[in-house]
Structure 1
Amino acid sequence: MKIQIKELEKYYGANKILDRINLTFDEGIHGLLGPNGAGKTTLIRILSTLLSKTSGEIYYDNLKVDNKEEIRKIIGYLPQEFSFYPNFTVYETLDYFASLSNIKLNKKEILDRLEIVHLQDIYKAKTKTLSGGMKRRLGIAVAMVGNPEVLIVDEPTAGLDPEERIRVRNMLSDFGKTKTVLLSTHIAQDIQLSCKSLSILNKGKLIYSGTVKEIIKEAEGYVWNLNVDFGDSEQYMDKYNVISSITDEDKISLRILSKEKPSLNANNISPTLEDAYMKLIKEV
């Protein structure tokens, strides 16, 4: 499945939320990154047919996004905020949402889908007893219930512990081997570890579209590690873009983003996607 976005714009009144977005997604998992208010959620809601565009075109292969009924047959969508009936079991929840989509599943088919998200062993548990990570996985199962060609997920790992984040990432990566997955998040590490391509929005504009490797390469030579005494850290924080600071007794280890070497004692280190992202946002 190929998704093409051409000259997409979205206004709320006089406010331009998306400004002439041009993107193409094909098979695999693609990341969508940007600060709060960048337009990420607006974009994926338009792609999910939940919000109308102001102008431009979106195609799923040769099918226009305006054909909502047909588009909804081939996509699955997991919003950032969702809820289930608390007294429904995991099994009943998946069965219920399948029915809403006019999909008839027998018990084996439901359990097979729950096995994909590692919930088959607790299919009798009520949703109100599930952890946050389990609810996210159930949400993914609901989004995938119709075996969609495209899966669109908004902040799927937000608020999860490290183990659950890894599990959700792995599930999305597996799905992306044969389908198209669009992952919108503010967690750069999730994109670095799972996505083949990346698009970055800022204030409604597309400021980067390419591979994760390419943008990280652009930050090479800009990231420094510097260990300073506790009392000396403030001068560097005032003068430089400090990505992180880790305290170790009377020393502080600073991760600094700078074109110039911030100190004779600073060491140049390999950048991460988060470093590259911060560099790009600061430049814009």
Structure 2
Amino acid sequence: MKIEIRELIKDYESYRALENINLTFDEGIHGLLGPNGAGKTTLIRILSTLLPKTSGEVYYDSIRVENKEEIRKIIGYLPQEFSFYPNFTVYETLDYFASLSNIRLNRREILDRLEMVHLQDLWKVKTKALSGGMKRRLGIAVAIVGDPEVLIVDEPTAGLDPEERIRVRNMLSEFGKTKTVLLSTHIVEDIALSCKSLSILNKGKVIYNGTVKDVIKNADGYVWNLTADVEEFHQFMDKYNVISSIIDEDKISLRILSKEKPSLNAINISPTLEDAYMKLIKEV
């Protein structure tokens, strides 16, 4: 399944949320990264048929996004915020949402889908007793209940502990082996560990579209590590883009983004995706 976005624009009265977006997604996991207000959720909602576009074209293969009935047959969508009936069990919840989509599943099929998200042992548990990570996994089960060709997820690991984040990432990676997955997030680590391609949005525009490896190369030579005392620390904070600072007794280890060497004791180090992302955002 190929998704093609051509010259997409979305306006809210006098505010332009998306401007001339041109992107193509096919099989695998594709990341949408950007700060809050970048336009990620607006783009996701248009692709999910929940929000009309102002102009431009969006196709799922040859199906226009305006054909909501056909599009909704082939996509699964997990929004950032969602809820379940608290007194429904995990089994009843999945069965209920399948019925809403006119999908008839027998008991074995429901348990199989719960097994895909590692909730098969909790099928009798009420949703109000689930942890945040368990609810997120149940949300993924609801999104894929119809075995969609495309899975769209908005901030799927937000608020989860490290163990649950790994579980969710692994589930999305498994699904992305044969399907198209769009992962919208502001968590850089999720992109670095999961996605084969990356699109970075800022202020409604695409400022990068390509591989994770290539965007990291863009920051080669710009990342420095150095040690400073407290007085120097404030000077560096005022003058440079400090990515991180770690206090060790009376010294502070700094990670700085700079085209020029910031001090004599600074050492040039290999960039991460977070470094490259911050470089692009600051340039814009």
Amino acid at match of 1:260: E
1:38-80 Cα distance to aligned partner (Å, 9 max, x none): 1100000000000000100000000000000000000000000
After superposition, residues 25-174 of structure 1 pair within 5 angstroms as 25-174=25-174
Distance, in Å, in 2 between the alignment partners of 1:49 and 1:144 is 17
SS of equivalent residue, structure 2 residue 73: coil
Distance, in Å, in 2 between the alignment partners of 1:247 and 1:118 is 40
Distance, in Å, in 1 between the alignment partners of 2:210 and 2:158 is 24
- Report the alpha carbon displacement of residue 271 of structure 1 after superposing the two structures with TM: 0.7
Show the counterpart of 1:193: 193
Distance, in Å, in 2 between the alignment partners of 1:236 and 1:230 is 10
Amino acid at match of 2:57: E
Distance, in Å, in 2 between the alignment partners of 1:108 and 1:227 is 59
Amino acid at match of 1:49: T
Unaligned runs of 5+ residues in structure 2 are: none
Distance, in Å, in 2 between the alignment partners of 1:108 and 1:264 is 66
Give % identity. 83
1:178-227 Cα distance to aligned partner (Å, 9 max, x none): 00000000001100110000001111111110000000001011011111
Show the counterpart of 2:220: 220
SS of equivalent residue, structure 1 residue 208: strand
Show the counterpart of 2:236: 236
Stretches of 4+ aligned residues off by more than 6 angstroms: none
Distance, in Å, in 2 between the alignment partners of 1:269 and 1:51 is 43
Unaligned runs of 5+ residues in structure 1 are: none
Distance, in Å, in 2 between the alignment partners of 1:267 and 1:131 is 43
* TM value normalised by structure 2: 0.99
1:1-47 Cα distance to aligned partner (Å, 9 max, x none): 00000010001112111101000000000000111111100000000
Amino acid at match of 1:11: D
1:81-121 Cα distance to aligned partner (Å, 9 max, x none): 00000000000000000000000011110110000100001
Show the counterpart of 1:248: 248
Amino acid at match of 1:242: V
Distance, in Å, in 2 between the alignment partners of 1:2 and 1:101 is 23
SS of equivalent residue, structure 1 residue 201: strand
1:237-276 Cα distance to aligned partner (Å, 9 max, x none): 1110001111122111111000011111111111111100
SS of equivalent residue, structure 1 residue 160: coil
Distance, in Å, in 1 between the alignment partners of 2:53 and 2:194 is 29
Distance, in Å, in 2 between the alignment partners of 1:17 and 1:167 is 32
Amino acid at match of 1:249: E
Q: CA RMSD in A?
A: 0.6
Amino acid at match of 1:181: V
Distance, in Å, in 1 between the alignment partners of 2:225 and 2:123 is 48
Amino acid at match of 1:118: H
SS of equivalent residue, structure 1 residue 227: strand
After superposition, residues 239-278 of structure 1 pair within 5 angstroms as 239-278=239-278
Amino acid at match of 1:186: H
Show the counterpart of 1:209: 209
Distance, in Å, in 2 between the alignment partners of 1:56 and 1:232 is 51
Distance, in Å, in 2 between the alignment partners of 1:65 and 1:223 is 42
* TM value normalised by structure 1: 0.99
Distance, in Å, in 1 between the alignment partners of 2:109 and 2:151 is 19
- Report the alpha carbon displacement of residue 232 of structure 1 after superposing the two structures with TM: 2.2
Distance, in Å, in 2 between the alignment partners of 1:121 and 1:265 is 55
